[in-house]
Chains A and B, each alone.
Chain A
Amino acid sequence: GDSVTQMEGPVTLSEEAFLTINCTYTATGYPSLFWYVQYPGEGLQLLLKATKADDKGSNKGFEATYRKETTSFHLEKGSVQVSDSAVYFCALSDNYKLSFGAGTTVTVRA
């Protein structure tokens, strides 16, 4: 079945540091890929998505590129802020349901 493997955390960074969270997937067919974020005390929010190979999703300074050849969708941000502290989930979809990774907790220190 479809599955997602993402970098284990927790990850602790200083403000303005570069953030990368690795995500690889296994799927039949051509899934859409997503990054969701959960801020403390809140629900999951869609951060960005890509629907086909070589697409780049971007939002709030975060980027991820759908790499079919390496089955990857790594999340990057060039300069993190304290407000980026959250749990990040990589996910893929078939027609209607999402398959998530285990989540990566990111803490950004001032």
Chain B
Amino acid sequence: EAGVTQFPSHSVIEKGQTVTLRCDPISGHDNLYWYRRVMGKEIKFLLHFVKESKQDESGMPNNRFLAERTGGTYSTLKVQPAELEDSGVYFCASSRGVLAGGYEQYFGPGTRLTVT
């Protein structure tokens, strides 16, 4: 079974440009999450999808970030326009069910975003 994959592995863009990150969850996992680690600090929750619906986007930093999960399969996270403080590692995770139900979240390798 393939794990969670993320593309690209690394992106370097200039301030003001647009970047789109992609996450392909494990097949059959209805739950998909985005997290972010900025400057070696805590990994912070961004949002949670169940199939194509956003269940919780309370962690999204501002309206420059847009996440989608069309068809309930892969997800994209767009940053437009990018700012310097958006630099960090963006992790995607997926699970069959929620943590409270005993289900594990499986993480991808992350996309390292550098905004110059």
Partner-B contacts on A (CB < 8 A): 4, 32, 36, 41-46, 89, 91, 93-103
Q: Enumerate 20 A-B pairs (CB-CB under 8 Å) in ascending A order.
A: A4-B42, A32-B100, A43-B91, A43-B108, A45-B107, A46-B104, A93-B100, A94-B99, A94-B100, A96-B31, A96-B48, A96-B99, A97-B56, A98-B43, A98-B45, A99-B42, A99-B45, A102-B42, A103-B40, A103-B43
> What DSSP secondary structure best describes chain A's contact surface?
strand
**Count of residues in B whose CB is under 8 Å from the partner chain:** 27
A43 to B93, CA, bound (A): 10
Which positions 58-116 of chain B face chain A at CB distance < 8 Å? 59, 91, 93, 98-100, 104-105, 107-110
B residues engaging A (CB < 8 A)?
A: 3-4, 31, 33, 35, 37, 40-45, 48, 55-56, 59, 91, 93, 98-100, 104-105, 107-110
